[in-house]
Amino acid sequence: MLVVMKHNASQEHVDAVVATIEDMGYSARPIPGGQRTAVGLIGNDGGVDSARIQGLEGVLEVIPVTQPYKQVSREWKEEDTLVTLPNGTVVGGPEVVVMAGPCAVESEGQIIDIAHRLREVGATILRGGAFKPRTSPYSFHGLGLQGLELLAKAREATGMMVVTEAIDPQGVDLVVEYADIVQIGARNMQNYPLLRRAGQAGKPVLLKRGMAATIDELLLAAEYLLAEGNNNVILCERGVRSFDNHTRNLLDLTAIPVVKSLSHLPIIADPSHGTGIRAKVIPMARAAVAAGADGLMVEVHPDPPRARSDGAQSLYPEQFEVLMDQIRIIARSIGRDLVAPLPSAVAL
Amino acid sequence: MLVVMKHNASQEHVDAVVATIEDMGYSARPIPGGQRTAVGLIGNDGGVDSARIQGLEGVLEVIPVTQPYKQVSREWKEEDTLVTLPNGTVVGGPEVVVMAGPCAVESEGQIIDIAHRLREVGATILRGGAFKPRTSPYSFHGLGLQGLELLAKAREATGMMVVTEAIDPQGVDLVVEYADIVQIGARNMQNYPLLRRAGQAGKPVLLKRGMAATIDELLLAAEYLLAEGNNNVILCERGVRSFDNHTRNLLDLTAIPVVKSLSHLPIIADPSHGTGIRAKVIPMARAAVAAGADGLMVEVHPDPPRARSDGAQSLYPEQFEVLMDQIRIIARSIGRDLVAPLPSAVAL
Amino acid sequence: MLVVMKHNASQEHVDAVVATIEDMGYSARPIPGGQRTAVGLIGNDGGVDSARIQGLEGVLEVIPVTQPYKQVSREWKEEDTLVTLPNGTVVGGPEVVVMAGPCAVESEGQIIDIAHRLREVGATILRGGAFKPRTSPYSFHGLGLQGLELLAKAREATGMMVVTEAIDPQGVDLVVEYADIVQIGARNMQNYPLLRRAGQAGKPVLLKRGMAATIDELLLAAEYLLAEGNNNVILCERGVRSFDNHTRNLLDLTAIPVVKSLSHLPIIADPSHGTGIRAKVIPMARAAVAAGADGLMVEVHPDPPRARSDGAQSLYPEQFEVLMDQIRIIARSIGRDLVAPLPSAVAL
Amino acid sequence: MLVVMKHNASQEHVDAVVATIEDMGYSARPIPGGQRTAVGLIGNDGGVDSARIQGLEGVLEVIPVTQPYKQVSREWKEEDTLVTLPNGTVVGGPEVVVMAGPCAVESEGQIIDIAHRLREVGATILRGGAFKPRTSPYSFHGLGLQGLELLAKAREATGMMVVTEAIDPQGVDLVVEYADIVQIGARNMQNYPLLRRAGQAGKPVLLKRGMAATIDELLLAAEYLLAEGNNNVILCERGVRSFDNHTRNLLDLTAIPVVKSLSHLPIIADPSHGTGIRAKVIPMARAAVAAGADGLMVEVHPDPPRARSDGAQSLYPEQFEVLMDQIRIIARSIGRDLVAPLPSAVAL
Task: Read off the pLDDT of residues D234-260 as tens digits, 9 standing for 90 and up.
Answer: 999 999 999 998 898 999 999 999 999
The predicted pLDDT at position B46 comes to: 55
Q: Do D254 and B243 touch (CB under 8 A)?
A: no
The predicted pLDDT at position B345 comes to: 53
Residue D136's pLDDT band (boundaries 50, 70, 90)? Answer: confident
Q: Please report residues of C whose CB lies closer than 8 A to that of A245.
A: 214
Average pLDDT over residues B153-171: 96
Chains touching A (3+ CB pairs < 8 Å): B, C, D
Q: Please report residues of C whose CB lies closer than 8 A to that of D69.
A: 136
Partner residue facing B286 (CB), from D212, D215, D290: D290
Please report which helix (H) or strand (E) contains residue D257, including its range: helix D255-262
The residues near A61 (Cβ < 8 Å, ≥ 6 apart) are A3, A4, D65
Backbone angles phi, psi at A342, to 5 degrees: -70, 140
The predicted pLDDT at position A171 comes to: 93
* pLDDT(A134) > 50: yes
Q: Please report residues of B whose CB lies closer than 8 A to that of C43.
A: 34
- Tell me how close the Cα of B148 comes to any Cα of chain D, in angstroms: 33
Mean pLDDT of chain B: 92
- Tell me how close the Cα of B100 comes to any Cα of chain C, in angstroms: 30
The predicted pLDDT at position A278 comes to: 92
Residue B348's pLDDT band (boundaries 50, 70, 90)? Answer: very low
The residues near B40 (Cβ < 8 Å, ≥ 6 apart) are B1, B2, B3, B28, B29, B30, B31, C31, C33, C38
Q: Do C140 and D56 touch (CB under 8 A)?
A: no
Q: Do C33 and B65 touch (CB under 8 A)?
A: yes
Backbone angles phi, psi at B127, to 5 degrees: -105, 155
Q: Are B163 and B99 in contact (CB under 8 A)?
A: yes
In eight-state DSSP terms, residue C243 is S
Q: Render pLDDT for C163-195 as a digit per residue (tens, 0 to 9).
A: 999 999 999 999 999 999 999 999 999 999 999
Partner residue facing D2 (CB), from A2, A6, A78: A2
Q: Are D265 and D222 in contact (CB under 8 A)?
A: yes
The predicted pLDDT at position C47 comes to: 58
Separation of alpha carbons A13 and A6, rounded Å: 10
Choose among D29, D49, D27: nearest CA to D39: D29
In eight-state DSSP terms, residue A93 is S
Separation of alpha carbons C277 and D55, rounded Å: 8
Q: Do A212 and B217 touch (CB under 8 A)?
A: no
Q: Do C51 and D241 touch (CB under 8 A)?
A: no
The predicted pLDDT at position D300 comes to: 97
Chains touching D (3+ CB pairs < 8 Å): A, B, C
Q: Are D126 and D160 in contact (CB under 8 A)?
A: yes
Choose among C60, C58, C61, C18: nearest CA to C41: C18
Percentage of chain B modeled with pLDDT above 90: 74
Chains touching C (3+ CB pairs < 8 Å): A, B, D
Give the Cβ contact number of residue B340 at 10 Å.
11
Burial (Cβ within 10 Å: 0-12, 13-18, ≥19) of residue D24: middle
Average pLDDT over residues D298-312: 89
Q: Do C311 and D241 touch (CB under 8 A)?
A: no
Mean pLDDT of chain A: 92
Q: Please report residues of C whose CB lies closer than 8 A to that of B35.
A: 44, 66
Percentage of chain C modeled with pLDDT above 90: 74
Give the orientation angle of helix A317-333 with respect to helix A278-290, to 10 degrees: 20
∠ CA C195-C201-C203, nearest 5°, is: 110
Partner residue facing D241 (CB), from A6, A33, A243: A243
Please report which helix (H) or strand (E) contains residue B193, including its range: helix B192-199
Q: Are C324 and C337 in contact (CB under 8 A)?
A: no
Q: Render pLDDT for C204-219 as a digit per residue (tens, 0 to 9).
A: 999 999 999 999 999 9
Partner residue facing D187 (CB), from C53, C169, C190: C190
Residue A37's pLDDT band (boundaries 50, 70, 90)? Answer: confident
* pLDDT(A347) > 50: no
Q: Please report residues of B whose CB lies closer than 8 A to that of D212.
A: 243
Q: Do C291 and A275 touch (CB under 8 A)?
A: no
Average pLDDT over residues D180-206: 97
The yes or no reply on domain B83-347 and CATH 3.40.50.620 is: no
Mean pLDDT of chain C: 92
Q: Please report residues of C whose CB lies closer than 8 A to that of D134.
A: 192
Q: Render pLDDT for A183-227 as a digit per residue (tens, 0 to 9).
A: 999 999 999 999 999 999 999 999 999 999 999 999 999 999 999
Task: Determine the 3-state secondary structure of D316 from DSSP.
Answer: coil
- Tell me how close the Cα of A30 comes to any Cα of chain D, in angstroms: 11
Q: Are D341 and D124 in contact (CB under 8 A)?
A: yes
Residues in chain D: 348
* pLDDT(B3) > 70: yes
Q: Do D220 and C135 touch (CB under 8 A)?
A: yes
* pLDDT(C149) > 90: yes
Separation of alpha carbons A114 and A321, rounded Å: 12
Q: Which residues of D touch B (CB under 8 A)?
A: 212, 214-216, 240, 242-247, 250-258, 261-262, 274-275, 279-280, 283-284, 286-292, 326, 329-330, 332-334
Kindly list the domain boundaries of chain C, sorted by start residue.
2-63, 83-347
* pLDDT(B321) > 60: yes
Q: Please report residues of D whose CB lies closer than 8 A to that of A242.
A: 243
Position B79, amino acid? E
Question: Cα separations (Å) of C197 from B265, C225, D277?
Answer: 52, 8, 34
Task: Determine the 3-state secondary structure of B305 from DSSP.
Answer: helix
Is the pLDDT higher at C137 or at B235? Answer: B235
The predicted pLDDT at position D298 comes to: 98
Partner residue facing D284 (CB), from B240, B284, B291: B291
Q: Please report residues of C whose CB lies closer than 8 A to that of B7.
A: 75
Partner residue facing C243 (CB), from B34, B78, B243: B243
Overall pTM > 0.90: yes
Closest residue in chain A to residue C214, using alpha carbons only? A244
Give the orientation angle of helix A278-290 with respect to helix C278-290, to 10 degrees: 140
Partner residue facing D333 (CB), from B274, B275, B329: B329
- Residue C294 Cα to chain centre, angstroms: 11
* Least confident among A68-77, B154-163, B254-263, C105-114: A68-77
Q: Render pLDDT for C326-348 as a digit per residue (tens, 0 to 9).
A: 999 999 999 999 999 998 754 44
Closest residue in chain D to residue B214, using alpha carbons only? D244
Q: Render pLDDT for A44-66 as a digit per residue (tens, 0 to 9).
A: 665 567 778 888 888 888 877 66
Partner residue facing A8 (CB), from D4, D63, D75: D75
Q: Render pLDDT for C248-258 as a digit per residue (tens, 0 to 9).
A: 899 999 999 99
Partners of residue C90 on adjacent β-strands: C84
Residue A345's pLDDT band (boundaries 50, 70, 90)? Answer: low
Separation of alpha carbons A246 and D51, rounded Å: 34
Q: Do C135 and D217 touch (CB under 8 A)?
A: yes
The predicted pLDDT at position C139 comes to: 80
Helices (H), chain C: 11-23, 51-54, 108-120, 145-158, 169-178, 192-199, 215-227, 255-262, 271-275, 278-290, 317-333
Buried b (16+ CB within 10 A) or exposed e, C50-80: bbbbbbbebbbbbbbbbbbbbbbbbbebeee
Closest residue in chain D to residue B292, using alpha carbons only? D283
- The CATH class, in words, for D2-63 is alpha beta
- Residue C239 Cα to chain centre, angstroms: 11
Partner residue facing C275 (CB), from A254, A284, A330: A254
- Tell me how close the Cα of C122 comes to any Cα of chain D, in angstroms: 25
Please report which helix (H) or strand (E) contains residue A161, including its range: strand A161-165
Separation of alpha carbons A87 and A95, rounded Å: 14
Q: Please report residues of D whose CB lies closer than 8 A to that of A243.
A: 241-243
- Separation of first and last alpha carbons in chain D: 59
Q: Assign 3-state DSSP to chain D and report helix, strand, coil percentages, each to 5.
A: 40, 20, 40
CA D316, D322, D326, D328 torsion-angle sign: positive
Q: Are B258 and B73 in contact (CB under 8 A)?
A: no
Q: Are A293 and A267 in contact (CB under 8 A)?
A: yes
Best residue of C209, C251, C254, C277 to probe chain A, by most A CBs closer than 10 Å: C254
Q: Do B333 and D334 touch (CB under 8 A)?
A: no
Q: Please report residues of B whose CB lies closer than 8 A to that of C29.
A: 31
Is the pLDDT higher at D102 or at C67? Answer: D102
Residue B194's pLDDT band (boundaries 50, 70, 90)? Answer: very high
CA-derived radius of gyration, chain A: 23
Best residue of A6, A31, A247 to probe chain D, by most D CBs closer than 10 Å: A31
Q: Are B159 and B122 in contact (CB under 8 A)?
A: no
Give the Cβ contact number of residue A57 at 10 Å.
12
The predicted pLDDT at position D347 comes to: 45
- Residue C31 Cα to chain centre, angstroms: 39
The predicted pLDDT at position D215 comes to: 97
* pLDDT(B159) > 50: yes
| Backbone torsion region of residue B166, taken as left when φ is above 0, otherwise alpha when ψ lies between -120 and 50, otherwise beta | beta
Partner residue facing B190 (CB), from A55, A133, A169: A133
Q: Which residues of A touch C (CB under 8 A)?
A: 212, 214-216, 240, 242-247, 250-258, 261-262, 274-275, 279-280, 283-284, 286-292, 326, 329-330, 332-334
Q: Are B189 and B215 in contact (CB under 8 A)?
A: no
The predicted pLDDT at position C347 comes to: 45
Is the pLDDT higher at D273 or at B43? Answer: D273
Partner residue facing C35 (CB), from B7, B33, B66: B66
The predicted pLDDT at position D305 comes to: 83
Give the Cβ contact number of residue D337 at 10 Å.
12
Percentage of chain A modeled with pLDDT above 70: 96
Separation of alpha carbons C69 and C265, rounded Å: 13
Q: Which residues of B touch D (CB under 8 A)?
A: 212, 214-216, 240, 242-247, 250-258, 261-262, 274-275, 279-280, 283-284, 286-292, 326, 329-330, 332-334
Partners of residue C250 on adjacent β-strands: C240
Is the pLDDT higher at B313 or at D68? Answer: B313
Average pLDDT over residues B236-264: 95
The predicted pLDDT at position B66 comes to: 67
Separation of alpha carbons D274 and D250, rounded Å: 6
The predicted pLDDT at position A48 comes to: 67
* Least confident among A31-45, A152-166, B3-17, B319-333: A31-45
Give the Cβ contact number of residue A312 at 10 Å.
25
